[in-house]
Amino acid sequence: MIDGADAVRQSLATGTPGVALLHLERAMNGTGSWSEAHAHIRQTATGPVDGGVHAGLYYGTPAIAFLLHPAAAADERYQAAAATLDQHILRLTRRRLTAATDRMRHGDTATLGEYDLFYGLTGIGALLLHRMPGSDTFADLLQYLSRLTQRGRLSPLANMSVNKHMARPCPFAMHPDGLQCRPVPKRALRYGTACKCRWPPMAAA
């Protein structure tokens, strides 16, 4: 399982992809240097990438792809890497859709982590809409979201259950500066994660 600096590196919420996106945008509009943008992109994209079933727009393969897609549009050197990640995202989407379909077949309600924007299929769908809007996988994802809105498919937020498969590493808990999340009781979890970060984080003892 990927952890430590590698987990932080591929977190769009707390890691380096957001910083790299900022430098890329500045380079594209002429307010920053391309050399600095390339350095931040390399820092983010170099190393193992988490493509597990828990990956979503804000963590793992989709988060790195979210950075490399505009980078590839601006500089062809990133096109091959972006295309490779697209194939991984297609496989990830299929795996998650299969799991969601099995859940529906058994009559269970969805966890928020299954379909939300940050780590669920809605966020992955945003990537597919941009890169592969004509794909069968995107069509199936739209069909899934449509089925999800039917009466009784969703749990009330107050009763949302924890998705055991969404135990992705917490970037704060493995921050290189030794920061940790405050512990949260399991009953307080609502987003299918192993922890729920609160800001500011506590310093490690």
| 155-168 residue pLDDT tens | 554 344 444 433 34
Query: pLDDT tens-digit profile of 166-199?
Result: 334 454 443 333 334 444 444 443 433 444 443 3
Confidence at residue 78, expressed as pLDDT on a 0 to 100 scale: 97
What's the number of CA atoms in the CB half-sphere (13 Å) around residue 126? 16
Per-residue pLDDT at 183? 42
For position 1, what pLDDT does the model report? 61
- Cα–Cα distances (Å) from 30 to 22, 66, 74, in that order, read 12, 21, 13
pLDDT (0 to 100) of residue 108 = 86
Buried b (16+ CB within 10 A) or exposed e, 51-72: bbebbbbbbbbbbbbbbbbbbb
Helix, strand, or coil here: 71?
helix
pLDDT of residue 8: 85
Non-local (6+) Cβ contacts of 127 within 8 A are: 57, 62, 65, 66, 69, 89
Task: State how far the Cα of 30 lies from the Cα of 45, in Å rounded to an integer.
Answer: 23
The answer to whether 132 and 159 are in contact (CB under 8 A) is: no
List, for the chain, all residue ranges whose pLDDT scores fall below the cut of 70: 1, 151-205
